[in-house]
């Protein structure tokens, strides 16, 4: 399929070549005018620019075939001497072509200034004076071409590496999400199964709430990020299930600042933390368990906390980290790297508090 942007790119490339040689020509015209003035020669700006652009626009024309040769024979690969020989031959030919074209331009200049000169009168001194210098100009053009080409390849490789890293990160996040959903479903179904023999009505209500919860997850299949308002809606549905299971033994409160409800947070970031708070804070207690979830802005970050009134972290710390915490830690690392904080600490008033700080 033809690339429709190719003509546009070619025009842009030619415009760039013309602009480059115009700047070079104007720089040399300034030098020519100033040096002529210092030596007492009468040269106008128009003459200086005309002579200088006459020189360098010839190189603008020759740049096109030189760049084509430079692209076709880059200084890499195993045939180094063959490439060097090709460039040496091309430089000799281009230098001669330059002298021929510049002589023709000199004849035109003379005709425009009513100072007619013959082609040979211009050609012979120009050949002696500029031929070695023309070889140097050829080398400079080829060097710039290779430098630009190396930069372009480096940039493309960098972009390609970033794209690969992005796809790899997405794959890892998808894998972590796939790990989390069956874990959550398995635990909830276990809770329903335990109620089936003691309170069928409550088990039935839990099944209905679970179906509503699964319907919510279907709206965001596999998305690594979601709006905080959707995450809050999900966790409130989940808490409805747990309230049925624990009846009056569980109180839960969700306090989310409306100003951050549209912020993006990792999908299912709160559910494993709330599940842990209930499992380790409420389930072992004979009294009432309490879970508080808050979300608010803190500077240019969003702070999510999940706090319970359980026993907190035992002396010496936890012996091992469960799937929920390990999964949360891994996903935060994949999404934010060093730009996040994830801490678990005993609250001064008792219980465990989990804090997540992530960029807005």
CATH number for position 244? 3.30.565.10
Task: Let me know whether 191 and 270 are in one domain.
Answer: yes
Task: Let me know whether 24 and 75 are in one domain.
Answer: yes
Task: Let me know whether 130 and 279 are in one domain.
Answer: no
Task: Let me know whether 46 and 169 are in one domain.
Answer: yes
- 302 phi-psi bin (left φ>0, alpha ψ -120 to 50, beta other): beta
Answer whether residue 3 is part of any domain: no
Q: What is the mean pLDDT of each run of 10 residues along the chain (360 residues)?
A: 60 85 90 85 83 88 92 79 91 94 88 82 89 92 91 89 78 67 75 78 82 72 82 89 84 93 90 88 82 94 93 77 84 89 90 92
Instruction: Give pTM, 2 decimals.
Output: 0.58
Q: Which domain holds residue 353?
A: 182-359
Answer whether residue 218 is part of any domain: yes
Task: Let me know whether 235 and 127 are in one domain.
Answer: no
Last residue of one domain, picked from the residues 143, 175, 207: 175
Task: Let me know whether 164 and 189 are in one domain.
Answer: no
How many domains would you assign to the chain? Answer: 2
CA 191 from chain centre, in angstroms, equals 44
pLDDT at position 178 is 66
Last residue of one domain, picked from the residues 154, 175, 196: 175
Instruction: Name 285's Cβ contacts closer than 8 Å, sequence gap at least 6.
Output: 249, 310
Instruction: Name 281's Cβ contacts closer than 8 Å, sequence gap at least 6.
Output: 289, 290, 291, 308, 309, 310, 311, 351, 352
Q: Give the whole-angstrom CA distance, residue 88 versus residue 295.
A: 70
Answer whether residue 58 is part of any domain: yes
Q: Give the whole-angstrom CA distance, residue 161 versus residue 170.
A: 14
Task: Let me know whether 153 and 194 are in one domain.
Answer: no
Residue 351's nearest CA partner among 315, 317, 311, 293 is: 311
Last residue of one domain, picked from the residues 106, 140, 175: 175
pLDDT at position 265 is 93
In DSSP terms, which residues pair with 301 in a beta bridge?
298, 359
Q: Give the whole-angstrom CA distance, residue 295 versus residue 357.
A: 10
pLDDT at position 143 is 92
Task: Let me know whether 58 and 111 are in one domain.
Answer: yes
In which residue are the tokens 């609250």 written?
347
Tokens of 275: 């599940």
Contact 61, 101 (CB under 8 A): yes
Task: Let me know whether 87 and 133 are in one domain.
Answer: yes
Task: Let me know whether 196 and 339 are in one domain.
Answer: yes
**Host H or E run for residue 235:** helix 228-246
């Amino acid at each position: 399929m033809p690339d429709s942007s190719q003509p546009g790119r070619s025009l842009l490339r030619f415009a760039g070549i013309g602009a480059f040689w115009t700047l070079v020509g104007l720089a040399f015209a300034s030098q020519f005018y100033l040096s002529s003035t210092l030596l007492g020669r009468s040269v106008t700006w128009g003459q200086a620019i005309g002579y200088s652009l006459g020189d360098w626009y010839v190189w603008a024309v020759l740049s096109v075939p030189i760049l084509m040769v430079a692209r076709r024979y880059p200084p890499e690969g195993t045939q180094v001497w063959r490439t060097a020989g090709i460039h040496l031959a091309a430089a000799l030919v281009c230098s001669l072509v330059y002298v021929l074209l510049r002589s023709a331009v000199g004849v035109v200049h003379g005709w425009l200034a009513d100072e007619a000169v013959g082609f040979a009168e211009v050609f012979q001194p120009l050949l002696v004076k500029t031929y070695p210098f023309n070889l140097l100009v050829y080398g400079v053009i080829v060097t710039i071409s290779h430098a630009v080409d190396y930069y372009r390849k480096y940039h493309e490789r960098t972009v390609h590496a970033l794209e690969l890293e992005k796809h790899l990160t997405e794959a890892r996040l998808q894998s972590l999400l796939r790990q989390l959903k069956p874990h959550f479903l398995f635990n909830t179904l276990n809770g329903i199964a335990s109620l089936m023999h003691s309170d069928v009505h409550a088990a039935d209500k839990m099944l209905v709430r679970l179906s509503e919860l699964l319907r919510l997850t279907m709206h965001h299949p596999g998305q690594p990020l979601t709006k905080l308002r959707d995450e809050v809606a999900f966790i409130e549905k989940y808490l409805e299930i747990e309230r049925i299971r624990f009846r009056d033994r569980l109180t839960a409160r969700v306090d989310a600042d409306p100003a951050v409800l549209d912020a993006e947070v990792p999908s299912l970031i709160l559910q494993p933390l709330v599940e842990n708070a209930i499992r380790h804070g409420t389930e072992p207690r004979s009294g009432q368990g309490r879970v508080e979830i808050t979300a608010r802005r803190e500077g240019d970050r969003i702070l999510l906390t999940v706090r319970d009134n359980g026993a907190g972290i035992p002396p010496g710390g936890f012996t091992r980290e469960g799937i929920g915490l390990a999964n949360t830690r891994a996903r935060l690392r994949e999404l934010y790297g060093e730009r996040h904080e994830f801490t678990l600490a005993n609250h001064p008033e008792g219980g465990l508090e989990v804090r997540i700080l992530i960029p807005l």
